[in-house]
Amino acid sequence: MKLVILDRDGVINRDSANFIKSPNEWLALPGSLEAIALLNQSGYRVTVVTNQSGISRGLFDMATLNSIHEKMNRELAVLGGRIDAIFYCPHAADEHCRCRKPDVAMLEDIAKRFAVELQGVPAVGDALRDLQAFAAVGCQPILVLSGKGEATLAASKVNADQALPANTWVCADLAAAVQRIIDTPYSG
């Protein structure tokens, strides 16, 4: 099975320092939904892994998160695309859970749910914590420059503690990342 793992905020949709707290605030980035549909049409299953600490902070509840994801799935379906599963962490950083990226429990859950090894699986994020989690389980980390991506790349060049994992691909956005994924022989 060909699989791709995506972060949500800053990769698929616009990010916000104030969190995405309602379906109205969820706005797809240009070309992102078309890119996911292209992955599907190219035989890939697509999963999402997303930290959603706004739940723990009381900024929105599970019903709202479900409504946000329903909107994302509806807009994607119009283009002939789908997301096969969404994994989320509802915890704040100070709760020290195992699921919040850069920890890897959500990724381990993907491996179990789909009965796959994650070695070489393309995984796209815009923050260092995404890339660190992806690399820790053997995925091919891909940084997109949308969302926090440009700041992540800039920080990696001036601070050794912020260095990107080895062999991280850097792409302008999800559409460019998907094109590179499709053009590269699958090793997952």
Q: Where are the domains of the chain?
A: 2-183
Question: How far apart are the C-alpha atoms of 137 and 124, rounded to whole Å?
Answer: 14
The predicted model scores a pTM of: 0.96
Query: Which residue among 9, 103, 126, 173 is the active-site one?
Result: 9
Share of the chain above pLDDT 90, in %: 96
Closest CA to 67 of 32, 11, 21: 21
pLDDT for position 187: 61
Query: Which residue among 7, 103, 126, 173 is the active-site one?
Result: 7
88-108 pLDDT per residue, tens: 999 998 999 999 999 999 999
Q: Does 9 qualify as catalytic in the annotation?
A: yes
DSSP labels for 112-180?
Answer: HHHT---TT-EEEESSHHHHHHHHHTT-EEEEESTTTHHHHHHHHHH-GGGPPPTT-EEESSHHHHHHH
Low-confidence residues of the chain, pLDDT below 50? none
CATH class of segment(s) 2-183: alpha beta
Q: Does 7 qualify as catalytic in the annotation?
A: yes
